Structure 1
């Protein structure tokens, strides 16, 4: 007997369905985004703890990010069904059908944006909405299928959280959060392309023009090294223009040197484990780098107060 998706969903327990909806939101990705938003909030006023922004701001940003992730699941459901990494996601498996997923995504996004607009400030709501559209519509709906530079161009949407966190506290756009956006922007290609190399056959099967599938692994590995080098240079800008003390640039140089080591090893070593090792390190890298910036900022504020 053929099992239809709605039949499978009807046999799903409440807890399984809740986990499926949570998976639609890509919680691991959202957690990293909220961490970078938190950094923006903490840097905005190191002498105070912005409780309102930390709670309500992060909640609204997380809801909008979860909505964008759910829309990504919806648009990519046919691609996801053809890729080993994603074919067990809730929509391809029939745990959640497209209609309820769309309602969930729109309701979650609307609630998050309303929360930000009414309880934080309109600027943060507008910037968050632009980020949601950039990722869910422009990147997922168009760029991902249109160009091998999809990650480079579309990475700006995912780089917005530090700026969102900053504006949630200050209601202003200033130099430091824009620099943080640029750091995440140039970090995104050397973060994602190693994973794409590891999953190259998935992208070929799904006919998604990710760089390794269109230009080959060697070219992609060189691009990872190029963007890693560019990233290290960009991470030093806050120190070069006098926005930090010595702690942050020391951390940026140390972590950047480690990232360069991974990128070079991935380029020259025949060991197939290096792409995933580089991908995993890239997550640790951004967490430690931004953590060092927060420590640096609070130390400076304490010394100057």
Structure 2
């Protein structure tokens, strides 16, 4: 059973020099890299030619910095909860390797630098939308929704679904229906992705008194919800092809990837083993990553009937 980090442990940790790796960990680099992949695909799909250098370099850097800033704020706000959960008990702020004030200063520097890059070198729309995404995740979701409702990840998932739109607006300076369709894909993918992890970590969330769906409604209901959202995701992923946004390579790739996700969701619901929830969670990460890679390939190598 995970226990909160003691004051003595914090003092021992703070007596050690802070490593750059601790700050790097605060940014949730794996999450940010996945978000940046979806932003890059949004940029590429927004144009038939090469992505402009300012959008590619300053846009990716600015979006990445603001996403990292949101991640750092999440570490700060959740550090007491994190200390009660096995998955997060060794995070830098929890262990006292980085103090709350140091982390907040780091978040501020990242946020201001990222916003400035987007405002001065990309466009104001992208800067404001990316800032709104930061506020949505770090403030609305982390500070309020996460502690208030079991539908927290559904409502708060919109902030994490924004990067494809941010990439699109970085190139075009305008919001387009196709960009919103990419947002809808990530938005629909988020609940089954996160609820699979929440099932695996149900006891941790219960101990920390966080009202995740498996805690408030039980595992069976959550598994049904994972399956239902996965079926919905299959339908949503058909829309890029049905609207003429993508072509046959995307259609084939998305059907294969979604069939795999449905298979894992069915296993989780009807034939779960102790590691099925975690394996479903891991598959969902590869699913989204490969889905956007297929979108990118389809864009540059369109195959039609």
Distance 1:270 1:123 in 2: 45
**Which residue in 2 is equivalent to 1:262?**
264
Q: TM-score, normalised by structure 2?
A: 0.94
Q: Find 2:252's aligned residue among 250, 253, 259.
A: 250
| 1:216 match: secondary structure | helix
Q: How big is the alpha-carbon RMSD for the aligned residues of Structure 1 and Structure 2?
A: 1.5
Residue-by-residue CA offset, 1:20-71 (whole Å, 9 max, x unaligned): 1111111111010001101111111132243322211110001000100010
- SS at structure 1 position matched to 2:19: helix
Q: Distance in 2 between matches of 1:50 and 1:68?
A: 26
Q: Which residue of 2 aligns with 1:297?
A: 299
Which residue of structure 2 aligns with residue 108 of structure 1?
Answer: 110
1:178 aligned partner: 180
Query: In the alignment, which residue of structure 2 is the partner of 1:148?
Result: 150
Aligned-pair CA distance for 1:212: 0.5
Q: State whether residues 265 and 280 of structure 2, in contact with CA within 8 Å, keep that contact through their aligned partners in structure 1.
A: yes
Match of 2:229 in 1: 227
Q: Is the 8 A contact 2:66 2:111 kept in 1?
A: yes
* Native 8 Å contact 2:65 2:113 kept in 1: yes
CA displacement 1:261-298 (0-9 Å, x = unmatched):
11001111141211111111101111111111111111
Q: For the Cα contact (< 8 Å) 2:44–2:51, is it kept in 1?
A: yes
Matched, 1:64 2:66: yes
Residue number in structure 1 paired with 2:24: 22
Is 1:9 matched up with 2:14? Answer: yes
Q: Is the 8 A contact 1:148 1:209 kept in 2?
A: yes
Unaligned runs of 5+ in 2: 1-6
Q: 2 CA distance for matches of 1:109 and 1:40?
A: 22
Give distance in 2, aligned partners of 1:290 and 1:270.
28
TM norm structure 1: 0.94
Give the C-alpha shift of residue 7 in structure 1.
5.7
2: CA distance, partners of 1:135 / 1:258: 29
How far apart, CA to CA, are the structure 2 residues paired with 1:81 and 1:287?
30
Change (3 A) 1:88 1:241: same
Q: 1:42, 1:50 within 8 Å by CA — same for their partners in 2?
A: no
